Structure 1
Amino acid sequence: MTKKLLWVLLGIVAAVVAVVFAIGAPITFGMTREYPEPEQPDPAIAQGIEEQLEQQPGVAQVTVVVERECIDRCKGWRPHYQATVDLVPSTTAEQVQQIVATHDASSAERLPSEFTDRGGPAVTLRFDDQHSLEVRAADHSGFSTAMAQAFVDTVVLTTARAAYVASDDAAAAFELSTRLEVATCADLDGAAQTSVPVITGAATTAGIPSVEVQFSCPRAYGTVAVAAGTPYQPGWSVFATQMVDFRETYIGEPGDDGIVQDFTAYAYESETHLDVEVNSGRTLPDEGHAQLQAIVDQMAAAGVLNPTISITQF
Structure 2
Amino acid sequence: MTRSPATPQHSERPPLTVYLASPRGFCAGVDRAIQIVELALEKYGAPVYVRHAIVHNRYVVESLEAKGAVFVEELDEIPVSDAPIVFSAHGVPKSVPADARNRRMFVLDATCPLVSKVHIEAERLFDRGHEILLIGHAGHPEVIGTTGQLPPGAVKLIETSEDAARFTPNDTSKLAVITQTTLSVDDTREILSVLQRRFPDIVVPRTDDICYATTNRQDAVKRIAPQCDRMVIVGSPNSSNSLRLVEVAQRAGCPRAMLVERSSEIDWREFESIRSLGVTAGASAPEVLVDSIINAFAERFDLAVQTVTTTEETVTFKLPRPLRDTTAA
Give the alignment's TM-score, normalised by structure 1.
0.28
Structure with bigger RCO (C-alpha 8 Å, 6+ apart): 2
Q: Is the radius of gyration larger for structure 1 or structure 2?
A: 1
Q: Compare the two structures and name the one with the higher strand fraction.
A: 1
